[in-house]
Chain A
Amino acid sequence: MEALKEFVNILSGPQYSFTLTLIMFYLLMKYYRIIGTKKFAWGFVILMTPVYLWFMSDDVFRTIIATPDNIPISILLFSVFFFTWLTVHKAAINDERIEAGECPIEGLPENREKVWSWPNLVYNELFVIIAGTIFLIVWAIIFKAPLEEPANPTWAPNPAKAPWYFLGLQEMLVYFDPWMAGVVLPVFIIIGLVAIPYIDTNPKGNGYYTFSERKMAISCFMFGWLVLWIFLIIIGTFLRGPNWTFYGPFEYWDFHKVVAEANINLSEIIWIKMLGTTMPSNLIVREIFGIFVILAYFGISGAMITKKWGQDILEKTGKIRYYFFLFLVLFMATLPIKMYLRWLFTLKYIVALPEWELNL
């Protein structure tokens, strides 16, 4: 048992669990027709329940899960699992119908019938309002608000955690400069979400569930949502303890856990380790390799992707739409790339210009 727990602890380290999540995401996208069956769902539930109970039998894990702050994440986890499965399930059914030459379920005559929003919709809304209010009141009564001591500008709690819905961002900040992860990336996330209807003018999938007709669009979105947002929230909530050190799910939050995670900049690796000289004093010369890497990333990989996969999208959507989309995707990919660089090479910044508050 202990050995198994130890194994789970190691496996949930960010580098492994992120890789596992990537693999799982790939499997989800690849075998969505199997995953989308009811049989699979029940099998999964039956299989996971004992695992969950076993997790819960551990004191440390239970304390983390039951912290009032963390309960929303548990709810979020279950609902994300359920709704992801539900969409996959519906998409799988529709895709099979489409392949057989039928119309999607939503397009059947009995589903196309129109009804009045009053009372059909308004009653539902009323019910949701009442149920939501009751739920929140009961929750507020059962779990006390986790109030802490008065704010003090010269002292911070340890670990200092953002509200749960921002913990993904906070986890992102571990790998980036505050400017990038705190301002630039969130702004691009928002711009990207706002721009979806303008970039994606493909009418397929409007009003019905499908995956096979919209493979790329759905995979891109789900990657950002499940892997880069939800997964990071889970890590930030459950697995980051004092000093923002990583703790496995069964690991006691020992304030004195020491992990050596010294990081170095790309410029230091190249100038000092590889070339064996001192750092040049001219800033641009010092960071020239990093700047080159960044430009090459956007230029070369952009060109390669366009050549390999992008041609027909480029033709279908037009230049501006396509390049904007490509830019957003490449930008999104910087997050996992940066995370792996940190884990594999303890790389801190590719371009480090603290003098100009500019670090990439």
Chain B
Amino acid sequence: MSESKKSLNRREFFSFLAVGWITFTAATAGLLGLVFRFLYPNVNFEPEMEFIAGIPGDYDNGVDERWKNGFGVWIIKREGKLVALSNICTHLGCIPNWLPGELKFKCPCHGSGFYPSGINFEGPAPRPLERFKITTLPDGRLKIDKTKKYRYEKGQWNNPDSYIEV
């Protein structure tokens, strides 16, 4: 009897082992869970993917920057068309600037340049800026849907959803 007090018997040893391993696994899993949670931001500042952009009459000919900072979209009115142009450079995803004096978009990262139409003409950008889906709601307001993109080089700029006739 005094033997069993001093040393564990086989069964007790295994239950200790089991408890030990379960605790260890749980602790590790908890830690990994925390690490994983840490990878996700607490607050998400991503701009909305859909928004209402006033009525077509709000825009003059040329490039309109009012939605650029909030939503990352330029509204461009030219040649009787209203388009919503993405402000993500097609080279590596920087944010080009609109230079009104030179009538072009110019990317600060590697110097790509785009015409107001969105077509690339200088620097390394391999393709034109993308258009977003733009539609008129029944009440005449414009809705811009950034989940749908239209790429020029794929011939998608002919799609009637990629522009509005004004």
Instruction: Write the residues of chain A forming the contact surface with B, with a CB cutoff of 8 angstroms.
Output: 152-160, 170, 173-178, 182, 242-245, 256, 258, 260-263, 348-349, 352, 354-355, 357, 359
Nearest-CB residue, chain A, relative to B108: A158
A111 to B87, CA, bound (A): 63
On chain B, the residues within 8 Å of A352 by CB distance are 126
B123–A156 touching, CB < 8 Å: no
Cross-chain contact of B126 among A177, A245, A256 (Cβ < 8 A): A177
Cross-chain contact of B122 among A157, A262, A355 (Cβ < 8 A): A262
Where chain B touches its partner, the secondary structure class is loop
| Interface 1/0 per residue, B104-123 and A, CB below 8 Å | 00111111010000000111
Given contact pairs A154-B72, A176-B124, A261-B123, A244 touches B108 in the complex (Cβ within 8 A)? yes
Given contact pairs A177-B126, A244-B108, A354-B127, A155 touches B95 in the complex (Cβ within 8 A)? yes
Given contact pairs A175-B124, A262-B122, A154 touches B71 in the complex (Cβ within 8 A)? yes
A174–B69 touching, CB < 8 Å: no
Given contact pairs A173-B124, A261-B122, A359-B126, A245 touches B111 in the complex (Cβ within 8 A)? yes
Expressed in whole angstroms, the minimum distance between the Cβ of A338 and any Cβ of chain B is 10
A245-B111, A260-B122, A261-B113 given; name 16 further pairs at CB < 8 Å.
Answer: A153-B47, A154-B70, A155-B68, A156-B94, A156-B108, A156-B109, A158-B108, A159-B109, A160-B94, A174-B123, A243-B106, A244-B110, A262-B121, A263-B122, A354-B127, A357-B126
B47–A170 touching, CB < 8 Å: no
B123–A178 touching, CB < 8 Å: no
Q: Can you identify 27 A-B contacts, CB atoms within 8 angstroms?
A: A154-B71, A154-B87, A156-B108, A156-B109, A160-B94, A160-B109, A170-B109, A170-B110, A173-B91, A173-B92, A174-B110, A175-B124, A177-B124, A178-B92, A243-B107, A243-B111, A244-B123, A256-B99, A256-B102, A261-B122, A261-B123, A263-B122, A348-B124, A349-B126, A352-B126, A354-B153, A359-B126
On chain B, the residues within 8 Å of A159 by CB distance are 108-109
A244–B109 touching, CB < 8 Å: yes
On chain B, the residues within 8 Å of A245 by CB distance are 111
A244 to B125, CA, bound (A): 13
Which of B108-148 touch A at CB < 8 Å? Answer: 108-111, 113, 121-124, 126-127
B108–A242 touching, CB < 8 Å: yes
Expressed in whole angstroms, the minimum distance between the Cβ of B120 and any Cβ of chain A is 9
A21 to B118, CA, bound (A): 37
Cross-chain contact of B69 among A154, A176, A178, A256 (Cβ < 8 A): A154
Given contact pairs A173-B92, A354-B153, A154 touches B124 in the complex (Cβ within 8 A)? no
Given contact pairs A173-B124, A176-B124, A156 touches B95 in the complex (Cβ within 8 A)? yes
Expressed in whole angstroms, the minimum distance between the Cβ of A259 and any Cβ of chain B is 9
B68–A154 touching, CB < 8 Å: yes
On chain A, the residues within 8 Å of B107 by CB distance are 243-244
Expressed in whole angstroms, the minimum distance between the Cβ of B143 and any Cβ of chain A is 19
On chain A, the residues within 8 Å of B127 by CB distance are 354
Task: Tell me if B57 counts as interface (CB < 8 A to partner A).
Answer: no
A218 to B109, CA, bound (A): 33
Task: Tell me if B101 counts as interface (CB < 8 A to partner A).
Answer: yes
When A and B form their complex, which 10 residue pairs have the shortest distance between CB atoms, in order from nearest? A244-B111, A354-B127, A158-B108, A156-B95, A154-B72, A178-B92, A160-B108, A243-B106, A354-B126, A174-B110
Expressed in whole angstroms, the minimum distance between the Cβ of A175 and any Cβ of chain B is 7
B95–A154 touching, CB < 8 Å: yes
Task: Tell me if B154 counts as interface (CB < 8 A to partner A).
Answer: yes
Expressed in whole angstroms, the minimum distance between the Cβ of A328 and any Cβ of chain B is 23
Expressed in whole angstroms, the minimum distance between the Cβ of A302 and any Cβ of chain B is 26
Nearest-CB residue, chain A, relative to B154: A355
A152–B69 touching, CB < 8 Å: yes
Nearest-CB residue, chain B, relative to A158: B108
Expressed in whole angstroms, the minimum distance between the Cβ of B42 and any Cβ of chain A is 14
Cross-chain contact of B91 among A154, A156, A178 (Cβ < 8 A): A178
On chain B, the residues within 8 Å of A152 by CB distance are 45, 69
